[in-house]
Structure 1
């Protein structure tokens, strides 16, 4: 088995993951708040709408994921007792996969 050369397995992009995330968030918030000036009422309206969208989206995903966890509680306890996997990675995986639906 050969040793993997991690330098050649790069993503192929010049910008790393965090730089891409930072740039996309900067563009997103720049577009949202463009032309608002120093009027705080408009900024508060945008922040309130973003907060409402985020809370509704995350609560829906959390409800679905928790419903799945309740249905598989016996399996989760058995597999954890047999040391097949730990609880935190399992719960994190459930939230991640349910969030993609």
Structure 2
């Protein structure tokens, strides 16, 4: 009996970080609540990204994918922050 033939394999994919809209908006809410001082919110953003990375690593996601997903998450947070700012000053254009 070939034991290797009985072992099933599966690919693990990370849910795209830029699609985690609730987490992105919640992160921007926290950053915005820090009295406009982005540097006070940075530790929260770093902790959120670190937690995301640890969860992906525990799920078996490879390191390169984790780096890409965390970078995509941080970019999505920045994009949402900019979108909110442009909305606030009335400068955002409709798509």
| Shorter-chain TM-score above 0.5 | no
Q: Which of the pair has more CA radius of gyration? A: 1
Please report the TM-score for the alignment, with normalisation by the length of structure 2.
Answer: 0.33
Structure with the bigger RCO (C-alpha within 8 Å, sep 6+) is: 2
TM-score of the superposed pair, with normalisation by structure 1: 0.31
